[in-house]
Amino acid sequence: MARKRLHKSASAAWSLARRQHGVVTRAQLLELEFTPEAIDHRLRTGRLHRLWDGVYAVGRREVTPHGRWLAAVLRCGSDAVLSHESAAALWKVRKSDPRVIHVSVPRQARRSAPGISVHRRSTLTACDVTRRHGIPVTTVVRTLVDLATRLGRDELEATINEADKLDLVDPDALRRALDELKGQRGVPTLRATLDRRTFTLTDSELERRFLPIARRAGLAKPRTQQIVEGFRVDFSWPDLGLVVETDGLRYHRTPGEQARDRVRDQALTAAGLTPLRFTRAQVRYEPDHVQRTLVTVARRLAAQELG
């Protein structure tokens, strides 16, 4: 009978571990009727591996990032949630340092552990917390508000862009959500970033660098990521018939990709548009050249419209 009960407990533990990215807590094992001696025996024999006090990896020491994130949250208690840079990494809107996991707990809690950055706070509500892949985590909006207190303007803007690109939150919805969080740290910075005159949703840092150059060239605010003649283009000015593409090395290395770019440019030209293409190096290190080119082409196109 005892052996049957132990087998049942072990089966339940494995099932729990699979749902929890390969990790369990000592408290959970005790609830499954493991004795303290049975837990210690499994630690000695390598069937459990200590990640933090009272939190174990099952079967093997190595766990996935999701497993480590959840283990850190479990270590900090039932009311803890993944937050800040670690939450951003879970949402895939920003990379984080895997050596430090950020967890938020109630202000009165006194919890800490090596490798876990504990944020004690009183402002989190049920609306600020959700689950993703089974991990308690701050919502995308709350994560962005938290990051606004820690990131520079360009980094924050990049993170907002990524959240929009992944369809996690769009700028209008983010603005509305901030109305409910007035007075909290991070909200003014996040709102200022959204309200910047130059802020336009783009797909890369390269494109964000291009927008101020276009403004200095006297061009109006462009349309971004629009479908033109069947192709998605980075920037377009329909009134001028001007289309600009900014090539990042990651997306324009192979001969096949370069050939597709030529076909795209040819199709746009055939439609009576003027396509311009700038490289990463030009946008970043030769902004004056890019600006002069835009000024010259824009003046020519405007003169053609008047003629």
Looking at the structure, tell me whether residues 157 and 267 fall in a common domain.
Answer: no
d(Cα 184, Cα 121) in Å, to the nearest integer? 12
pLDDT at 176: 87
Would you call 9 exposed, middle or buried from its count of C-beta atoms within 10 A (0-12, 13-18, 19+)? middle
Same-domain pairing of 147 and 224: no
Whether 35 and 98 share a structural domain: no
Calculate the average pLDDT of the chain. Answer: 87
Let me know whether 185 and 152 are in one domain.
yes
- For the stretch 204-217, pLDDT in tens is 667 778 889 999 99
The answer to whether residue 280 sits within a structural domain is: yes
d(CA 170, CA 156): 14
110 and 178 fall within a common domain: yes
pLDDT of 124 over the 70 cut = yes
| Domain assignment present for 292 | yes
Of the pLDDT bands very low, low, confident and very high (cuts 50, 70, 90), residue 109 is confident
Distance CA 108, CA 90 (A): 26
Distance CA(259)–CA(240), nearest Å, equals 26
- Cα–Cα dist 206/102, whole Å: 29
Q: Are residues 55 and 78 in the same domain?
A: no
The rounded percent of the chain whose pLDDT value lies above 90 is: 56
Residue 284 lies in a domain: yes
Does any domain span residue 200? Answer: no
Indicate if 214 and 294 belong to the same structural domain. yes
Domain end point (choices 26, 45, 63): 63
| Domain final position from 44, 63, 82 | 63
pLDDT of residue 102: 97
Q: Return the closest-CA partner of residue 138 out of 127, 149, 125, 129.
A: 129
Q: Considering Cα of 253, then 160, then 166, then 119, what sign does the dihedral take?
A: positive
Which of 139, 161, 195 lies at the terminal end of a domain, its last residue? 195
Confidence of residue 203 (pLDDT cuts 50, 70, 90): low
Q: What is the pTM of this model?
A: 0.68
Residue 267 maps to a domain: yes
- Same-domain status, 119 and 25: no
What is the reported pLDDT for 248?
A: 57
Please report whether residue 145 resides in a domain: yes
* The residue type at 34: F
The structural domain count of the chain equals 3
17 Cβ contact list (under 8 Å, min separation 6): 23, 24, 58, 59
What b-and-e string marks burial along 184-219, b requiring 16 or more CB atoms within 10 Å of the CB? bebbebbbebbeeeebbebbbbbbbbbbebbeebeb
Question: pLDDT of 22-76, one tens digit each?
Answer: 999 999 999 998 999 999 999 999 999 999 999 999 988 899 999 999 999 999 9
* 133-190 pLDDT per residue, tens: 999 999 999 999 999 999 998 899 889 888 887 889 877 788 889 988 888 899 999 9
φ, ψ at 132 (rounded to 5°): -135, 125
56 and 115 in a common domain: no
Instruction: Read off the pLDDT of each residue in 78-106 and give the average, rounded to a whole number.
Output: 95
Going by DSSP bridges, is the β-strand pair 116-121/101-106 parallel, antiparallel, or unpaired?
A: parallel
- Residue 136 to residues 6, 13, 108, 212, 276: CA-CA distances in angstroms? 30, 20, 19, 39, 46
**The domain that contains 49 carries what CATH number?**
1.10.10
Q: Are residues 86 and 179 in the same domain?
A: yes
**Residue 264's CATH number:** 3.40.960.10
Enclosing domain of residue 16: 2-63
Q: Provide the pLDDT confidence category of residue 253 given band limits of 50, 70 and 90.
A: very low
Residues 83 and 58 in one domain: no
**pLDDT category, 12, cuts 50, 70, 90?**
confident
Higher pLDDT, 205 or 78: 78
- Residue closest to 237 by CA, chosen among 216, 227, 223: 223
CA dihedral 75, 110, 126, 22 (to 10 degrees): 0
Give dist(CA 127, CA 246) in Å, integer.
39
Asked whether 114 and 50 are in contact (CB, 8 A), the reply is no
Quote the pLDDT of residue 100: 95
Based on the domain organization, do 85 and 179 belong to the same domain?
yes
Residue 192: pLDDT over 60: yes
